[in-house]
Amino acid sequence: MKIGFIGLGNVGFKLANSVLESGFELFINDLDKDAGNELIKKGAKWLETPKELAKKSDISITCLPSPKAVESVLEGAEGLIKGMGSGKLWIEMSTTDDKEMKRLASIIIEKEAHAIEAPVSGGCHRAATGNIAILVGGTREAFDMAMPALSAIGYQILHVGPIGSASVLKVATNYLASTHLVAVGEALMVCKKAGLDLSTVYEGIKISSGNSFVHETESQVIMNGSYNINFTMDLVCKDVGLFEKLAQDLKVPTEVSPLITKIFSEGRNKYGDRAWSSMIVKLQEDACDENLRAQGYPEELIDDTPRRQGYEIIPKNINT
């Protein structure tokens, strides 16, 4: 099986590397050719256009920063769609808009090819080891076609439903993670100002009902002071914006979502597009003239779990 991968950013590079390390023949493309140098040294082949990549690949994967970037890669003059044909498969692994995903998938399907969405969740440290979770939207036939590639890239893989459903769920999970991050910053600062030791606070939250994946991971790089979660402010703003737009389209009244969107907009304006997303807690640090530092926490998260073969998660209410 020949796999093509477009988009070698913080997450995409690690996903593509998992494909390569699993023994697949890998073709790669990115706006920045230098982003693929390490993969090329390990055996990946660089192709100049998405069209050429799609023609030579059985499965073409995109992992890009925005719906606009996905549109450009697929529908540009040398776009991926022009290289798709009967029996081929497109896997979209970006966090994107569900309506745009449906539109692009319909064009792929008209070419007698297949399309699924497969956004990932769990952080760059898990993307690096192949232990990241994958949410999948698409037909069962396309899901089964994609499983050899997906099980090389991720560990827990959930078939959510038809095209569009995984995009909705991924946007919802990213909104929750962003909300947890803001709340963690406030909680840590209250404890710091009350005179508590932050290492003790970290362990206390970790064993309590207030724990979350965000606390267990991002609190560590906050207390280190690197804030390096390998995810940037502009991407969070895109994600929480997608959630708020989805809520508005569905006429769901929200109170927390507009506030989270506002807070991250302030953080982006103050610290810049490419600031790490966990730097949102600096709004608290700056306002209180305090830092949230503690000794012994890592500069960057590392997943020490060995790479495992991915498998499908079956929801309890679905008969197997």
Question: Checking DSSP bridges between strand 89-92 and strand 25-29, what pairing results, if any?
Answer: unpaired
Determine the Cα–Cα distance for residues 170 and 162; give it in Å rounded to an integer: 14
Q: Taking residues 13-32, what's their average pLDDT?
A: 97
- Residue 92: pLDDT over 80: yes
CATH no., domain 2-163+306-313 = 3.40.50.720
pLDDT per residue over 284-297, tens digit each? 999 999 999 999 99
Q: What are the counts of helices (DSSP H) followed by strands (DSSP E) for the chain?
A: 13, 10
Q: Spell out a b/e string for 171-200, using b for 16 or more CB atoms within 10 Å of the CB, else e.
A: bebbbbbbbbbbbbbebbbebbeeeeebee
Number of Cα atoms under 13 Å in the Cβ half of residue 81: 17
Determine the Cα–Cα distance for residues 256 and 175; give it in Å rounded to an integer: 10
Cβ-contact 107, 79 below 8 angstroms:
no
- Please give the helix or strand (H or E) that residue 154 lies within, else none: strand 154-161
pTM of the entire predicted model: 0.95
Instruction: Domain ranges for the chain, please list them.
Output: 2-163+306-313, 168-288
- Residue 320: pLDDT over 90: no
pLDDT of 317: 80
**Structure tokens that stand for 158 in this block:** 């959930």
Determine the Cα–Cα distance for residues 114 and 141; give it in Å rounded to an integer: 9
Distances (CA, A) of 25 to 56, 144, 156, 311: 11, 19, 23, 22
Q: Taking residues 71-78, what's their average pLDDT?
A: 97
Q: Taking residues 209-231, what's their average pLDDT?
A: 97
pLDDT of 219: 98
The CATH superfamily assigned to 168-288 is N-(1-d-carboxylethyl)-l-norvaline Dehydrogenase; domain 2 (1.10.1040.10)
